[in-house]
Amino acid sequence: MLVEIGRGQEAEDLLRTGAERGTGEFHLAWVLESRGQYAEAEEIYRALAESDFQSYDAMAGLARMLERRGEAEEAKGWREDSSARAGMVPPGPFD
């Protein structure tokens, strides 16, 4: 992945111009998270977690962002939802 070889801006640019609804948006949020752009990553994760897609990875991502901000109680609910439905909590960019 471009982020792993130090080309995070290029990855972000590509995803912003061509991100498909769902998976592409998730990858954009993941790249943003890996680059420290937590507020925007949280917005995307939340939109996906609350959408019809019911993305378990996005739920876990949202939980990470909430935990980062100290919102442990809300994070706990999203983390439980993501792990109960998927069987595990997917790791973040640095896990």
Specify the pLDDT at position 87.
47
pLDDT of amino acid 83: 78
Can you give the pLDDT at residue 21?
A: 61
Q: Alpha carbon 84 to chain centroid distance?
A: 17
Q: How far apart are CA 75 and CA 68, in angstroms?
A: 9
CA distance 81 to 35: 26
pTM of the model: 0.72
The pLDDT score that the predictor gives to residue 4 is 65
pLDDT of residue 5: 58
- Judge: domain 3-86, CATH 1.20.1420.30: no
How many helical (H) and strand (E) elements, i.e. helices and strands, does the chain have? 5, 0
Give me the pLDDT at residue 26, please. Answer: 86
Bigger pLDDT: 89 or 4? Answer: 4
DSSP per-residue codes, 10-54: HHHHHHHHHPPTTHHHHHHHHHHHHTT-HHHHHHHHHHHHHSTT-
pLDDT in tens, 13-70: 655 666 556 677 888 898 899 889 999 999 999 998 998 777 888 999 999 999 999 9
